[in-house]
A = this chain, B = another copy of it.
Amino acid sequence: MNKPAKEAALKAPASFKTIALIGGGLIGSSLARAIRQFMPESIIVMSDRDPQVVSRLKELQLAHRVELDSRSAVQGADLVILCVPVGVCADVAKGFVSFLKEGCVLSDVGSVKASVLDEISPHVPENVHFVPAHPVAGTEHSGPDAGKADLFVNRWTILTPADNTPSDNVARLEAFWQALGSTTEVMTARHHDLVLAVTSHLPHLIAYNIVGTADDLETVTQSEVIKFSAGGFRDFTRIAASDPVMWRDIFLHNKEAVLEMLARFSEDLSLLQRAIRWGDGDTLINLFTRTRAIRRSVIESGQDTDAPSFGRD
């Protein structure tokens, strides 16, 4: 996004009167809580295709209206956000697109952007503006009870509009996310998928894999793995506790970028393996010193806490 557009976005009011959230899981219910806190004038409509989630959303009183049918939910909404796993985004969207209000902004929160853009765009009516987005935030917990109003505060939200999307609609959506405490950045869907493959998808794949490996050993019992997990393993179990369906969809929809990053990871790991086998301590020290510097940058950028062990003890 160019500089004048960015300034416009920062000044723009959160100009969506009625907001429909399709899907009431961790992100959908966090959005509802955040909108209620940061934009108390907005009207929130939620929908979920699971009747149990619908009744829980009603109990939690997160929205002004909760619907089982997404077609009823989106009617009259100025902003509609898909908060469902990437694998069902297109199908869910196809179900309600013809009920969208003229001039409305349609967005999503998926962790993969190119496939969502490709699959949904052909079905979006001409007078509706589709601006895919991805808040880089979350926790390992799922469902409507897991949501938090401050989930997006100090986190980045990436917007990946198509080339022909009018910039004022992009700016309006940036202003929306900024009002929830997020910082925004605009990039192409393809570049997003490459960046997230390394900062999110590969870490999750590695974490799932090592927890699986540990679970399969014959020489070390599962009880030993769990007892002595404070040596490092427990950090990986947190990430490997993330929602299975959401993550299956991410890997299958960002296949190319994930496989590319995985190939690089495996190459680098072979080098480390060789260094250990041949007692090459210098290679190890060099890498371990470099990675320590990256940790410092992550902390200086405000993306993590400097408290030892994340301050959890």
User: Contact between A228 and B195 (Cβ–Cβ < 8 Å)?
Assistant: yes
User: Contact between B265 and A209 (Cβ–Cβ < 8 Å)?
Assistant: yes
Shortest distance from the beta carbon of A93 to any chain B beta carbon, whole Å = 20
Q: Does A272 contact B (CB under 8 A)?
A: yes
**27 A-B contacts (beta carbon < 8 Å):** A111-B231, A137-B230, A148-B308, A185-B227, A195-B225, A198-B233, A199-B225, A199-B229, A203-B235, A205-B272, A206-B236, A207-B232, A210-B265, A211-B291, A215-B290, A215-B294, A237-B295, A237-B298, A240-B294, A251-B276, A251-B284, A255-B277, A255-B279, A259-B277, A262-B276, A266-B266, A305-B312
Instruction: Give the contacting residue for A231; candidates B146, B203, B301; CB below 8 A.
Output: B203
Note all chain B residues with C-beta closer than 8 A to A52: none
User: Contact between B210 and A202 (Cβ–Cβ < 8 Å)?
Assistant: yes
User: Contact between A304 and B200 (Cβ–Cβ < 8 Å)?
Assistant: no
Q: Give chain A's interface secondary structure class.
A: helix
Binding site for B on A (CB under 8 A): 111, 136-141, 146, 148, 150, 155-156, 158, 185, 194-196, 198-217, 219-220, 222, 224-242, 244-245, 247-248, 251-252, 255, 258-259, 261-262, 264-266, 268-269, 272-273, 276-277, 279, 281, 284-285, 287-292, 294-298, 301, 303-305, 307-313
